[in-house]
Amino acid sequence: MPSELAIRSDAPAAVGRSPRVVRARAARRKARILGAESLGIGELMGLLGVEPADAVDADARLPSLCRASPGEVAEDLGVRTSHAWRLAAAFELGRRVARARSLERPMVRGPADVLALLGDELRGEEREQFLVLLLDGKHRLKGRSLVSIGSLSTSIVHPREVFRPAIRAAAAAVLCVHNHPSGDPEPSQEDLAVTQRLDQAGKLLGIPLLDHVVLGDGRWVSLRQRLAL
């Protein structure tokens, strides 16, 4: 007859693992073989201990979820607030990685480089953010400055606010970029007017405006090309 100790040690195996644990182990196994990029949104969230009621819906709304508060995430996904905080931490880590990469002095030659540099960081923002990228003579990134947050206007985006950090950093050129929260990068008349003012100011200061790029949801519009500057 087996001892009481042996019966107790066998008990956990008899009970078995929960479906959540089984799914998490399967996701880890898949990631080891194919890489983490092979995992779906539901699998990635599952590895964080978060299982939304509808992973497909979570995938479609990921840009907005990454900017929502933990309370809003918990309500939208039908998960516990403590689990929503895990997602909030993961989203914030991703944003910090994106910002760190933007300071590694990559080459910024045109709109495609801007999208690669800032697309992930600005996707899902609910308000327009206007940034100026400071470039050296070889168009490598020297730094960046947030000029304004909110609707773009000539009163908010003044040339002095754009070129002040460029002068301090001894930048050889600047590239301006702002996002459209709607996801549509088609420029407004205000966008075009601001770009013309900045182009003129850059010529006067000897710090040329390389471009002004409007970012949407995975798309971009070059205002230099649009205005034929």
Cα 139 vs. chain centroid, distance in angstroms? 23
C-alpha neighbours within 13 Å on the C-beta side of residue 155: 2
Closest by Cα among 109, 116, 131 to 224:
109
pLDDT of residue 208: 96
Alpha helices in 16-69 (DSSP H): 19-34, 41-47, 55-60, 62-65
The pLDDT of residue 57 is 63
pLDDT in tens, 13-26: 445 577 778 888 88
Task: Kindly report, residue by residue over 169-221, the tens digit of the pLDDT.
Answer: 999 999 999 999 888 999 999 999 999 999 999 999 999 999 999 999 889 99
Residue-wise over 47-57: b if at least 16 C-beta within 10 A, else e? beebbbeebee
Please tell me the total number of residues recorded for the chain in this structure.
Answer: 229
**pTM score over 0.75:** no
Q: What is the pLDDT of residues 76-132, one digit of tens each?
A: 888 888 888 988 888 888 878 777 765 666 889 889 999 998 988 888 788 899 999
Structural domains of the chain, ranges and CATH numbers in brackets: 4-99 (no CATH), 105-227 (3.40.140.10)
Of 12 and 35, the structure prediction assigns the larger pLDDT to 35
pLDDT beyond 70 at 8: no
Q: Three-state SS for 185?
A: coil
With bands split at pLDDT 50, 70 and 90, how would you rate the model's confidence at 7?
A: very low
Interacting residues of 91 by C-beta distance below 8 A, sequence separation 6+: 65, 66, 67
In this structure, what token pair is assigned to residue 85?
Answer: 């905080």
190: CB partners within 8 A, 6+ apart: 152, 153, 154
| pLDDT confidence of residue 55 | 62
Q: How far apart are CA 44 and CA 50, in angstroms?
A: 9
For residue 9, pLDDT beyond 80 = no
Cα angle: 137, vertex 143, 147; to 5 degrees: 115
Mean pLDDT over residues 138-148, rounded? Answer: 91
Q: Quickly state the pLDDT bin for 167 (edges 50, 70, 90).
A: very high
| DSSP assignment of 77-141 | HT--HHHHHHHHHHHHHHHHHHHHHTTS--B--SHHHHHHHHHHHHTT-SS-EEEEEEE-TTSBE
**Is the Cα dihedral 33, 36, 38, 42 positive or negative?**
positive
- Which position has the token pair 């002040």? 164
Per-residue model confidence (pLDDT) at position 202? 96
